[in-house]
Structure 1
């Protein structure tokens, strides 16, 4: 069976408004289930591909801070 995970994830959120997308993201994060990580990755890919360079830099700085904080708390 050839399952395209990316297409399946995009199909699941197709037509969702911002509130629904936010709920999907929050649910994925709050569930703590690793099976949700690919979906978040696909959503992040969309954000990244549609971001301006300045927005990408902001995301990278926020990510760097988040990684540092997470590794400090571990």
Structure 2
């Protein structure tokens, strides 16, 4: 992913409050494929700033919901 894209996505959300950030995520999930890189950048930030136990919970939750 292009670093400029990361920076643009971060700039787009950096001054939003919790409710606005929730809206950005909710509107992007299940939306157009062009929104997926933005969710990826947001997830990257969450992942980088989460403790190992929360990372493990996220991996477990993902595994639970992947098709078998």
Verify same fold: TM over 0.5.
yes
Coordinate RMSD, CA, aligned:
1.7
**So what's the TM-score if we normalise by structure 1?**
0.83
- Report the secondary structure of 1:4's partner residue: helix
Cα distance in structure 2, aligned partners of 1:62 and 1:46: 18
The residue number in structure 1 matching 2:15 is 15
Q: Larger RCO: Structure 1 or Structure 2 (Cα < 8 Å, ≥ 6 residues apart)? A: 2
**So what's the TM-score if we normalise by structure 2?**
0.89
1:7 positional shift: 0.3
Structure 2 gaps of 5+ residues are: none
Cα distance in structure 2, aligned partners of 1:51 and 1:3: 22
Greater helix share, structure number? 1
Dislocated runs of 4+, deviation >6 Å? none
Q: Deviation digits for residues 36-63 of structure 1, max 9, x if unmatched? A: 0000000000000000000000000011
Structure 1 gaps of 5+ residues are: none
